[in-house]
Amino acid sequence: MKLLCIAILVVLTSLSSVNAAEKGKHLFILSGQSNMKYMDPNISFIPAVEEAFGKDNVIVVHDAQGGQPIRRWYKNWTPENGEKPTSTGTLYKRMMRKISPIVKKHKFSSVTFIWMQGEADAQAKHGKVYKKSLLGLIEQLSNDLGRKEINVVIGRLSDCDMANKHFPHWTMIRDIQVELADANPRSLWVNTDDLNDGKGKNGRQLKNNLHYSVEGYKKLGERFAAKSIELIKKHEQ
């Protein structure tokens, strides 16, 4: 009887492994400006998605750079007034140089794009074209990956400048990020209002800061992972 139970357990474990393999791999692309750059995905994001889907079924690409407007990603970006800049999409090209070899090598059940950006556009008063730009960026990535649908998780701007004193379009972009996420069944947004208080990396106490605390970045990774997992499970075939 004991040997029979062990044999059954081995069979069930093998079937579970086969089912996991059949579901394929999941690609997570994390990009944006400084608050994405400072978030180390190895601390909380990767452990969470690996626990959900298995270490062998998860690939994470993390490519971010501080202080950058969305036009560094969206190739067809144009301002509200004036001509299109001569150079756009340079950071997107850098990101795709990491992604392209991966998608050629692996077949993915899902692709999730996690976006934490908007501070630079809020400061430069480009909020009125942000909605079009973010939608365009998502479509651009979807087309380049040859996927009709990708999941999107948006980190909403924090409560750093709710008076729009230093970043004139801060609340405008916050609202746009929520609007876009709520309008698309494959998108969700993450709250960051409580992440910019506490002890920073240099030990300084932060309060409604532009950047997040050490614990804040850990929580950000957890929240990005939770929303990503939610979207994947919701749309699993």
Written as tens digits, the pLDDT of the chain (237 aa) is 444 444 344 344 444 433 443 368 999 999 999 999 999 999 999 999 999 999 999 999 999 999 999 999 999 999 999 889 999 999 999 999 999 999 999 999 999 999 999 999 999 999 999 999 999 999 999 999 999 999 999 999 999 999 999 999 999 999 999 999 999 999 999 999 999 999 998 899 999 999 999 999 999 999 999 999 999 999 985
Can you read off the two tokens belonging to residue 119? Answer: 């501070």
The residue with tokens 């850990």 is 218
Give me the helices (H) in the chain, please: 2-22, 34-37, 45-53, 90-105, 119-123, 130-145, 170-183, 214-234
* Cβ-based neighbours of 129, under 8 Å, separated by 6 or more: 77, 78, 79, 80
Beta carbons of 173 and 121 less than 8 angstroms apart? yes
Q: Is 110 helix (H, G, I), strand (E, B) or coil?
A: strand
C-alpha R_g of the chain: 20
How far does Cα 104 stand from its chain's mean position? Answer: 21
Q: Which uninterrupted H or E stretch holds 152? A: strand 151-155
Q: Give this prediction's pTM.
A: 0.90
Which amino acid is located at 145 in the chain? L
Task: List own/partner pairs for 195-199 with CB under 8 A and 24 or more apart.
Answer: 195/158, 195/219, 195/220, 196/158, 196/159, 196/160
Could you say which DSSP state residue 116 is in?
E
Can you read off the two tokens belonging to residue 79? Answer: 């301002």
Q: Which string of DSSP letters, residue by residue, matches 29-86?
A: EEEESHHHHSS-TTTTHHHHHHHHH-GGGEEEEEEE-TT--GGGT-TT---SSSPPPS
Q: Would you tell me which CATH number, out of the four given (3.40.430.10, 3.40.50.300, 3.40.50.1110, 1.10.10.10), belongs to the domain 25-234? A: 3.40.50.1110
pLDDT recorded at residue 82: 87
Which amino acid is located at 140 in the chain? Q
pLDDT recorded at residue 17: 38
Beta carbons of 69 and 120 less than 8 angstroms apart? yes
Phi/psi of residue 43, each to 5°? -75, -50
